[in-house]
Amino acid sequence: MSLVRKSAAELGALVASGDVSAVEVAQAHLDRIAAVEPRVNAFLHVDAETTLAQARAVDARRAAGDDLGPLAGVPIAHKDVFTTTDMPTTAGSKILEGYRPPYDATVTRRLREAGLVILGKTNLDEFAMGSSTENSAFGPTRNPWDLSRVPGGSSGGSSAAVAAYEAPLSTGTDTGGSIRQPAAVTGIVGMKPTYGGSSRYGLIAFASSLDTPGPFARNVLDAALLHEAFSGHDAMDATSIDAPAPSVVEAARQGEVAGLRVGVVREFGGEGYQPGVLARFHESVELLESLGAKVVEVSCPSFTTALPAYYLIAPSEASSNLARFDAMRYGLRVGDDGTRSAEEVMALTRAAGFGPEVKRRIILGTYALSSGYYDAYYGQAQKVRTLIARDFEAAFHQVDVLISPTTPTTAFPIGERADDPMAMYLADLCTIPANLAGNAAISVPCGLADEDGLPVGLQIMAPVLGDDRCYRVAAAVERALEDRWGGGLLSKAPGL
């Protein structure tokens, strides 16, 4: 098996033992990127020299007898929304094109400390606003399963890089489903940790009460290893949870669901869901029952109002967060010819630098926060958010985890929903409630839809700080389905 086909855990073990060098592993992935990247467009920035320098540093540490962690020398693709001192950070926007931050995000720093080798920065919907990676100012990313289709979003570059074997691991951020939805439609694993369980310091903000960094991988154990590598309390993040978290790696290795109470969310299913998605979901329910889980139906009535509540709360926070891009301090500046006022330069820069979806959300959020409308819109949405959290709380008194399809459909064709924002927003129908409540949730591949042969994801939701439960159930599903498929879901991909 070539190095690019090996798991992150396998690559880490090979580097630690000296059977292969970190430089060899990095070069193999750089070669893969060179071979497939023109067709996929997963990366916005790749610097082979910087990558190989990181790999040489890991090899030097091993030669010196240092105790390397489980992911030292393993390549990773990094979503271009985390600040990096040695690479540009654009958030997929023209307004930050070429910007080099003066500091690393906490997630970036922890990746470096763990010895991971950052291959480059991945494409995304501009400022993480989207469900298809079509909103990037630098062109869409394509789904490795079918290059005419989207890889999900906003972390579509990260999901595509892993699915295309350009990297064994990648980082993403999940504000309304931006890790789980792309993971589902590209046939990989994607985890949204508990809000506050992974640091937002150095993450270019979209919606501060929702944004959550998390891992992508081709299997559950790799995702858990990456999760543990960059998670944990951070004093630089005021919303970071200062409490011990259960070991997700141990849970991923365990993968046992006998006796576990699993709730099927009644409100997720039926009209608007692709038949092949529902078929794979129902098979997953039967699979969990066969593994000894007790499956019951659970009603969470407020979940049906999550989508409109989210599209008031998230744009409201975005309109506040994106006010910092004013052409005065960093990034793009348009029209500064000495004759225009600061206000005119600011307006011209934002008009040129922000894309249509970002402008749409800023306008919506500014309206929702404006005098006379705040209570009617933003205030009401926050009340709905409380009801959703209460529904989760009531559900977790009955069951240990909740399950649903990750997304109602498989990957849709590029351009199909570009002019229909509402259809685009429905891609996050099942994922948004966990963001509003701050719960942990994961997507794991559960098969291929009959209609189009494209991947389907199973979503597993757990209480706050119940991340280990997500990995425990996901690992059990993965193990059982690997026996059925023989080689994992990506072995069924047509390839590039």
Return the active site residues: 79, 154, 178
Distance between CA atoms of residues 224 and 206, nearest Å: 25
**Sequence ranges of the domains in the chain:** 3-258+441-492
Q: In whole angstroms, how far apart are CA 204 and each of 213, 260, 317?
A: 11, 38, 13
- The Cα–Cα gap between 407 and 184 comes to 7
Write out pLDDT tens, residues 269-286: 888 999 999 999 999 999
Nearby residues of 347 by Cβ (< 8 Å), 6 or more positions away: none
Looking at CATH, the fold of the domain delimited by 3-258+441-492 is given as Amidase signature (AS) enzymes (3.90.1300)
The token duo for 332 is 């793009």
Hunting for tokens 């389907």 — which residue is that? 456
pLDDT tens for the 496 residues of the chain, in order: 699 999 999 999 999 999 999 999 999 999 999 999 999 999 999 999 999 999 999 999 999 999 899 999 999 999 999 999 999 999 999 999 999 999 999 999 999 999 999 999 999 999 999 999 999 999 999 999 999 999 999 999 999 999 999 999 999 999 999 999 999 999 999 999 999 999 999 999 999 999 999 999 999 999 999 999 999 999 999 999 999 888 999 999 999 999 999 999 999 988 899 999 999 999 999 999 999 999 999 999 999 999 999 999 999 999 999 999 999 988 999 999 999 999 999 999 999 999 999 999 999 999 999 989 999 999 999 999 999 999 999 999 999 999 999 999 999 999 999 888 888 999 999 999 999 999 999 999 999 999 999 999 999 999 999 999 999 999 999 999 987 776 677 777 877 8
The C-alpha atoms of residue 171 and residue 149 are separated, in whole angstroms, by: 21
**Residue 479 CB contacts under 8 Å (≥ 6 apart), including other chains:** 255
User: What is the number of other CB atoms lying within 10 angstroms of the CB of residue 95?
Assistant: 26
